[in-house]
Structure 1
C-alpha cells in the first residue's frame, strides 16, 4: 500500500481506532473504584469481597489470554472491520449487563464478557499496521499508548464521580458511549485488509499457545518477544502494589494516591501522544527501545528506594519515558510479519499481556507482602519495584543484542 493511500484511509479510521482503545482502557479504569463496592454489596462483607474481586481480576485476564488470538486470527480471515465492530457492540451490551446484574453470578458473567470484548485491542493494533507505512508505525502505536494514559485518568475519575451517586451509573454511561462509538464506526470505518491478503482461520493459530509460536518464527521476533514479556510483567508492579505501598511507606491517603496516579497518566500522555514519533524519527526504533527500557529501570529503582513521597514523584518522568519501548517494539515486530498475519501477531502480543496479567499481580503482591511483613527486617519495603527494575535490566541486556535491518514489510508468509 502506498503512503498516500495509507494516509487517506488512516485519517477517519485512526480516530475511531483510537476511540476503541481509549474506551477499552476507560472500561478497565471505570471498574477500579466501582466494582469492589458492587461485589461487596452482593458478598456481604469486605474480606469475602476482596477474595471475589481477585477472582474477577484473574478471570478477566484469562479471557484476554484466550480470546486475543481468536479475535486476531478471525480478523486475518474475515477482515478487521467486522471483528472490531462486533466487539464494540458486544462491549456496550456487556456494560448494560453489568449495570442490570441482579446477582453476583450475573456480574461475574459480565466481567467474562468484558474480557472477551476488550480482546479487540489485538485487532485494533493489526488495523494500524495495515494502514500505516512501516516508518510511521511507532508514532501511531505511541498514540494508542497515549489512549491508555488518558483512559487511566478518565476511567477512575468517571467511576469515582458517578459511582458516588450510584455504583451502577458508571456502567450505564460507559455502555452508552460504547454504543455511540460502535454506531459511528459502522459508518466511517473502512476495511483495511483486502480479500487477497487474508489467511485461513486455523484453530492451532487461534489458541494462546499456537499464536505464541508466531513469536518464535524469526530471531528478531523471538528476542523482541522475550523482552516484551519482561516489560509486560514489570509493568504490573505499579497498579498492583502502589496503593498499599504508598499508604504504608508514605502515609498517603486516597486523595494523594489519586493525585499521583493522575500525574503518572498525564506524563504518559505527553510522552506517548507527543514525543514517541519525534524520538523514533530522531534516533530510530532500536535506540528508542533501549531508551524506554533504561528509563524504566531508573523509574522503578527510584520508586523502590524512595524514602519520601517527593522522591517517588521524581521517578515519574523516567516512568513516562518507559513508554518509548512499546511503540518501538511494536513497529519492529510488525516488520517481521506478513500482512495476512498481522492480526495473529497482535493476538499473540495480547496473549502475552494476558499471561503476564495472571502472573504479575500474584508475584508482586506476594513480594510486597513479604517486604512489609516477614522480610521487614531487610529494610526494603519497595522490594517489588526493585524486582521489576531487575526484570527490565535483563531486558536492556537482551535489547543490546538487537540488530535491525532497514524497514521492510513481507508480503507473504515465510
Structure 2
C-alpha cells in the first residue's frame, strides 16, 4: 500500500509538471508570435504569416511526440516505467533550457528545437497512465485515472496563470517571457529527483517487443485495423482534434476580438483549468460510482460540442467567463473516461503498447489543428472554434452509433464506499 501511494503521488506530480509546462506556453506563445511588439519576428510580419508560424510552432511538440511516445511506451514495457520516465523528464528539462535561450536571443529556430525535443521525449503522460494501470484494479481504475486528470487540470490552472503573470513586466518590473520557464525548469529538476527517490517500479512483467522508430505510423495502422480498438481510437482522434482547435487558437481569438494580454489569457485558461480539476476531482468520482464511462461519455461529449459555438456570441469578454466552466466540466468528464475505456480494452502485458498507440493517435490529432487553424484564422478568427464544435460532434456520433464492441465487458464496476 505504501508503494502504491508513493507511486500515485509521483505520477500525480509528474503529470502536474508536464501539464504545467504545457500550460505555461498557452499565454506566452501567442504573445511572442502574434504581438508585433514582442520583436521575435520582424515588426512588419503580416497577421496571416504570424498565425501560420504560430500554428507550426504549436504543432512541433505533438508532431515529435507522435514519434517519441510509442518508442517510450515500448521501452517502458521492456525496461520498466521508472527508467524511461526519468529519460523523458530529462528531455523536458533540455527542452526548457533551449526554449529559454531562444527567447533570450530572439531565435525562433531555438524555440522550435526546444519544443521538438520536449515533444519527442514527452511521453510522460503515457508512461504515467501505464503505471496507473499497473497498480489499479477494475474497481478503482476510473478513480485513479481521475486523479491523473485532476493533476492535468491543476497543471492547467497554475501553468497559464504562471505563464501570464511571470511574463508580465507590469506585475514585476524584471518579469519577462522567459521567467516562467525558469520556474518550470526548477520544478522539472525536483520531479527528476522525486522519481529517482520515491517512485518504485510498477511493471510486473516485462515485454520482449522490439524497438521500432516507425512505431508511430505502425500504431496508426494498428489502431485503424484493431477490431476492438478501432472505433474508440477514432473517437479519441476526433475528440482530441476538437479540443485542440479550441485550446491552441482561442488565445488568438481573444487577442483579436478583445485585445487580451498574456496575463489576461493566463487568467482565463487558469480559470478553465480550475473547473477541469473540479470536474475530475469532485464530480468524476461520485459519477463513476453510479454510471459507466460509456454512459458519462454519451452525455458529456454532445454537451461539449454544443457549448463551443456559444463562445463566439458575446460582445463583452465577461460572458466568456460564464461559458468556460461548462466547457471545462464536460471536457473534465470526457477525457479520463475515454482513457479508462482504452485501458480497459487492453491486457496487463500490452498496457504500454495500447496506451502508446493511444498517444500516437492523440499526438497526430494534436498536430493537425494548429497547422490548419493557422490558415483558417487568417480567413476568419471564428473558424477554429467552429471546427472544434464540428469535430467533437462527429466524435459523439461515432461513439453512439459505432462503439458497440463488448460494452458490457467494459463497464467499470462501482467502487465500494
In the other structure, the counterpart of 2:73 is: 72
In the other structure, the counterpart of 1:227 is: 235
RMSD: 2.9
Distance 1:94 1:297, change over 3 A: closer
1:102-251 paired onto structure 2 within 5 Å: 104=107, 105-163=109-167, 164=169, 165-194=175-204, 196-203=205-212, 207-216=215-224, 218-249=226-257, 251=258
Contiguous gaps of at least 5 residues in structure 2: 170-174, 413-417
CA deviation digits over 1:243-286, x for unaligned, max 9?
A: 3334555x353365444323212111100122212212211111
1:16-35 paired onto structure 2 within 5 Å: 16-34=10-28
Contiguous gaps of at least 5 residues in structure 1: 1-6, 373-381, 410-414
CA contact (8 A) 2:30 2:252 kept: no
Q: 2:408 aligned with 1:386, yes or no?
A: no
SS state at 1:315 partner: helix
Q: 2:4 aligned with 1:14, yes or no?
A: no
CA distance in structure 1 between the aligned counterparts of 2:251 and 2:410, rounded to whole angstroms: 42
1:337 is displaced (CA, Å) by: 1.3
CA deviation digits over 1:49-86, x for unaligned, max 9?
A: 93654443222221111111111111111111110012
CA contact (8 A) 2:27 2:251 kept: no
1:324-339 paired onto structure 2 within 5 Å: 324-339=333-348
TM-score of the two chains, using structure 1 as the length reference: 0.84
Greater displacement, 270-279 / 362-371: 362-371
CA distance in structure 1 between the aligned counterparts of 2:195 and 2:273, rounded to whole angstroms: 27
CA distance in structure 2 between the aligned counterparts of 1:388 and 1:166, rounded to whole angstroms: 32
Q: 2:92 aligned with 1:84, yes or no?
A: no
CA distance in structure 2 between the aligned counterparts of 1:400 and 1:38, rounded to whole angstroms: 41
TM-score of the two chains, using structure 2 as the length reference: 0.83
Distance 1:275 1:110, change over 3 A: same
CA deviation digits over 1:213-235, x for unaligned, max 9?
A: 44346544211111111100100
Greater displacement, 77-86 / 93-102: 93-102
SS state at 1:171 partner: helix
CA contact (8 A) 2:55 2:371 kept: no
CA distance in structure 1 between the aligned counterparts of 2:63 and 2:386, rounded to whole angstroms: 27
1:152 is displaced (CA, Å) by: 2.2
CA distance in structure 2 between the aligned counterparts of 1:142 and 1:26, rounded to whole angstroms: 17
